[in-house]
Amino acid sequence: MIDDIGNARGLIVAIVIGVLVAACASKPPVVSPKGIVVLLPEKDGQPTAVTVTQGDRQIVLDQPYAAAKVASQGLDAYQSNQQEVEKEFGPAIAAQPVRANAFVLYFVEGKDEFTDESKRLVEQLLADVARRPVPDVLVVGHTDAVGTDQVNDALGQRRAETVRTALISRGIAAGDIRAISRGKRAPAVPTADGVAEPRNRRVEIIVR
């Protein structure tokens, strides 16, 4: 059994081979799992960890390429490496879907215009979407706390539509992109009503 611990987001390669050991005809077969579990590093360097459990034996994998061999006689910890993972699990890793990615673009106060820094991030966003065979993009528009709910809902939607239009103009199918607004209801930085907080004037883009 493999359990997540902490804020585990790491990718795990687990190849488990069931071996059936025949007993007499009157008894069911016994399954003895065998395999290897390897904790792969996160691309952003964030720490991850998992616990591998077999019976009353546990091994915590909390470093990149930490591994555990699962056998009928128990668990053994060892240190794998990138070369071994590519050799043993390359096809399995290549067959996995691309993991979801998230981007945040910021806007000029009261407008649906990107800040200069976010204009540069748009190209990175477009490249991530383009490498996915069938992208699924959710665009969520947000505002700061200046103005009424009605005004901010509309502004958040315009900001989301600005991103959606940019993606469509670069060849992403309109049906693959959803644009919604949360207005000022979900601030990244909580403030009192009426406060102009630049970090809340944003669009969050989730790319799957």
Whether the model pTM is above 0.75: no
pLDDT score, position 181? 96
If one compares 33 and 61, the residue with the highest pLDDT of the two is: 61
Written as one letter, the residue type at 162 is T
Q: What is the pLDDT of residues 40-81, one digit of tens each?
A: 887 767 788 888 888 788 888 888 888 888 887 778 888 988
Q: Return the residue matching tokens 């949360």.
A: 182
- The rounded distance, in Å, linking the Cα atoms of 168 and 119 is 16
pLDDT band at 33 (very low <50, low <70, confident <90, very high): low
Specify the DSSP element, H or E, that contains 126: helix 116-130
Q: Return the residue matching tokens 């493999």.
A: 2
| Residues paired with 102 in a beta bridge | 206
